[in-house]
Amino acid sequence: MVLADSPSGPAAAASPAGSEAWSSADGAALYGLDSWGDPYFSAGARGHVMVQPRGDRGGALDLVELVRELLGRDLSLPLLIRFDDILEDRLERLHGAFERAIAQYGYDGRYQGVFPVKCNQQRHVVEQLVESGRRWHFGLEAGSKAELLIALSLLDDPEALLICNGYKDRRYIETAILARRLGRQPVVVIEQPDEVAPIIAASSSLGAAPFIGIRAKLSARSTGRWGSSVGERAKFGLSIPDLLTTVEQLRQAGLLSDLRLLHFHIGSQINDIAVLKDALQEAGQIYAELTRLGAPMGFLDVGGGLGIDYDGSRTASAASTNYSLQNYANDVVATIRECCEPHGIRPPTLVSESGRALASHFSVLVFDVLGASGRSDGVPPAADGEALILRNLRDTHAAVEAVAAATLSDGDEPDMRGVVERLQEAWNDALKFKEDALNAFRLGYLSLPERATAERLTWASCQAIARQLDQLPPGTVIPQELQALAAALAGTYYANLSVFRSAPDTWAIDQLFPVLPIHRLDERPTRLGSFADLTCDSDGKIARFIDRGQVKPLLELHGLRPGEPYWIGLFLGGAYQEVMGNLHNLFGSTNAVHIRLAAGGGYRIDHVVKGNTNAEVLEAMEHDPDLLLERLRQASEQAIGRGDLAISDARRLMAHLRASLEQTTYLEA
């Protein structure tokens, strides 16, 4: 397969719109690469997406070349590419931001973060974070017993924190207490009033206590999707009366000296920094109060919520944030300092559980397009004695082309209003004649081939009108009806992926991710389209795209070229998507690779994680692949016996079945 990415390719030259200058920079601007992509993704001179895995510290990889080489190694699309350098760079940026804020505000304390494992539990990801985070004693946060097992086994730094959140039974609590004897630093966070009694009981029976934290229910309200994570009716956290009762219970049990941490979490993807400030002030006061009540404290955990600017708009809209990483760190540090100073309280070690902010950038999902709907193949040649309806459509198409000729040959200032009126008239005619053609077909006056010709002529007219509109000077007033034309011409691009598996939040919570072709950025896109996935579910689509603080239903895309792949990247999906993804229609996990920038340029592949095979997804539903094969073998023996199936065909059928079981669940190239 050869990828032609030069703008002078035959298809580009044939398209009138493509003849206008269009550079990689235009492509980058169109898809917002230069805003949300900064500093990891950009457009290269050849129209390919470039990856700078170490941010602005140098080194770049051509994503298209990389994919091509990975395919050469027998990996197939869809492919999840994890850039571990990006993960490391995000960690550095997070710590750098807090270090700068601490220096700037003269904060007499430290920052010590943890990674919430629920964000991405993949072994290589958690291992990488623990390894890269060692120099800052970066820790982990667990929200369930299974996550606690991961955190306990992977986190071996005695100074790193292991924050234990989520619902806890006696075994969870005792495990955490005993882990302290292994030399770990587990902090059991009391999230519900009824967790206090089992913690006290477990501590007294084991003769040892864990470090204890308390999660407060704040009244500060977050906006957006996770706004209900806070407030009186939040699922987790202690109300102020419960918090005071808990302190008394711990005091009576002799455990107050183990109360070390105050925790809050006001929901993921905080869009508006004003909300965070309110929460910080409230938490700062509660922290001060707890020290006054006699708890040693020492840690303030501000939870997750640090957001990602998915659309690059830097606004408080759902897919963005109106603050930077540095703004966030500054606000945390400055606000907590302001709360502690007047009370003469020693500033706590600041903890954050930033998951989305660390893990979103590092993985890129690349999938291929299998085909597109709504392609017109130009104007079909006229037949002798063509039906009147078809001739009408041909005339309409000719009228549109004539508008072009008129404006171009006109020496004087062209009459733009006149042009728009003629285009609108042609559009109305095309719609009317198409309707006529449909009616004629229904009544039996038009054959199926004639109806096909009518549809192709309508398409050709619409495309010609769209091209004309494109070339009108900016500011020309376009009537509403004609604005709908682009959408009417939009195509469906069939994507070799399952959104339920690979980008479930696009379906579940209307999350936006940047989606764009990873090549041909130096070629003007000539079509509008959306993506349909492989599942037999009409919800299996990507039809909402970033648009600088807005959402658009259609994305600018390129026409497909025969024999050439069209590769699409879905970016910023490293957090939550893998674990939330499901087996709808039995599409399993995709292949995944871990890429590291190599010292002398180039890259190395650290891990290859093969995607689920069909046998694996069948087993997940309790089917036995061997049994399935055996049943089909018996059925083919019977068919051979009846003389319905040749032995050679039976062998071929069994070979296909066996091969399918061993292969990934996606379409083979």
Query: Under the rule (CB under 6 A), what is the footprint of ligand PLP?
Result: 116, 118-119, 165, 265, 268-269, 303-306, 353-357, 575
Kind of pairing, strands 61-62 and 349-351? Answer: unpaired
**Any alpha helices (H) in 219-272, and if so which ranges?**
240-252
User: Minimal distance in Å, beta carbon 236 to ligand PLP?
Assistant: 7
Structure tokens at 4: 């032609």
Of the pair 339, 351, the CB lying nearest ligand PLP is at: 351
User: Minimal distance in Å, beta carbon 267 to ligand PLP?
Assistant: 7
Kind of pairing, strands 299-301 and 259-263? Answer: parallel
User: Minimal distance in Å, beta carbon 305 to ligand PLP?
Assistant: 5
Of the pair 505, 616, the CB lying nearest ligand PLP is at: 505
C-alpha of 550 from chain center: 17
Of the pair 307, 559, the CB lying nearest ligand PLP is at: 307
The type of residue at 497 is: L
Residue in the block written with tokens 């587990």: 186
Distance separating alpha carbons of residues 457 and 429, to the nearest angstrom: 12
User: What is the phi/psi pair of residue 511, to 5°?
Assistant: -70, 145
User: Minimal distance in Å, beta carbon 357 to ligand PLP?
Assistant: 6
Assign 473 to helix, strand or coil.
coil
User: Minimal distance in Å, beta carbon 332 to ligand PLP?
Assistant: 13
Structure tokens at 301: 């955990």
User: Minimal distance in Å, beta carbon 235 to ligand PLP?
Assistant: 10
Of the pair 234, 306, the CB lying nearest ligand PLP is at: 306
User: Minimal distance in Å, beta carbon 295 to ligand PLP?
Assistant: 20
Of the pair 286, 495, the CB lying nearest ligand PLP is at: 286
Of the pair 9, 224, the CB lying nearest ligand PLP is at: 224
Distance separating alpha carbons of residues 86 and 77, to the nearest angstrom: 22
Of the pair 274, 632, the CB lying nearest ligand PLP is at: 274
User: Minimal distance in Å, beta carbon 173 to ligand PLP?
Assistant: 17
User: Minimal distance in Å, beta carbon 226 to ligand PLP?
Assistant: 8
Assign 491 to helix, strand or coil.
strand
What's the DSSP call for residue 136?
Answer: G
Distance separating alpha carbons of residues 482 and 167, to the nearest angstrom: 56
Of the pair 372, 575, the CB lying nearest ligand PLP is at: 575
User: What is the phi/psi pair of residue 212, to 5°?
Assistant: -115, 140
Structure tokens at 660: 């399918």
Structure tokens at 545: 């795209």
Assign 140 to helix, strand or coil.
strand
How far is residue 138 from each of residues 298, 419, 647, measured CA to CA in Å? 17, 65, 62
Kind of pairing, strands 515-517 and 550-552? Answer: unpaired
Of the pair 356, 397, the CB lying nearest ligand PLP is at: 356
Contact 18, 12 (CB under 8 A): yes
User: Minimal distance in Å, beta carbon 189 to ligand PLP?
Assistant: 8
User: Minimal distance in Å, beta carbon 451 to ligand PLP?
Assistant: 53
Distance separating alpha carbons of residues 110 and 106, to the nearest angstrom: 11
User: Minimal distance in Å, beta carbon 119 to ligand PLP?
Assistant: 5
User: Minimal distance in Å, beta carbon 270 to ligand PLP?
Assistant: 8
Q: Which are the contacts of 352, defined by CB distance < 8 A and separation ≥ 6?
A: 94, 111, 113, 114, 301, 302, 303, 304, 306, 332
Q: Which are the contacts of 110, defined by CB distance < 8 A and separation ≥ 6?
A: 102, 349, 350
User: Minimal distance in Å, beta carbon 352 to ligand PLP?
Assistant: 8
Cα radius of gyration (the chain): 30
Contact 362, 82 (CB under 8 A): yes
Of the pair 220, 440, the CB lying nearest ligand PLP is at: 220
Q: What angle do CA 633, 635, 641 make, to 5 degrees?
A: 105
Q: List the beta strands (DSSP E) in 549-651.
A: 550-552, 555-557, 567-570, 591-597, 603-609
Of the pair 358, 482, the CB lying nearest ligand PLP is at: 358
Query: Whose CB is nearest to ligand PLP?
Result: 304
Structure tokens at 258: 């183990």
Of the pair 147, 436, the CB lying nearest ligand PLP is at: 147
Distance separating alpha carbons of residues 352 and 322, to the nearest angstrom: 19
User: Minimal distance in Å, beta carbon 666 to ligand PLP?
Assistant: 28
Give which of 164, 229, 161 is closest to 190, Cα–Cα.
164
Of the pair 27, 304, the CB lying nearest ligand PLP is at: 304
Strand (E) or helix (H) holding 412: none
Residue in the block written with tokens 């882990």: 179
Give which of 257, 152, 220, 122 is closest to 575, Cα–Cα.
122
Of the pair 505, 523, the CB lying nearest ligand PLP is at: 505
User: Minimal distance in Å, beta carbon 125 to ligand PLP?
Assistant: 14
- Length of the chain equals 669
Contact 527, 489 (CB under 8 A): yes
> 39 preceded by cis ω (within 30°)?
yes
Of the pair 354, 614, the CB lying nearest ligand PLP is at: 354
Of the pair 143, 284, the CB lying nearest ligand PLP is at: 143
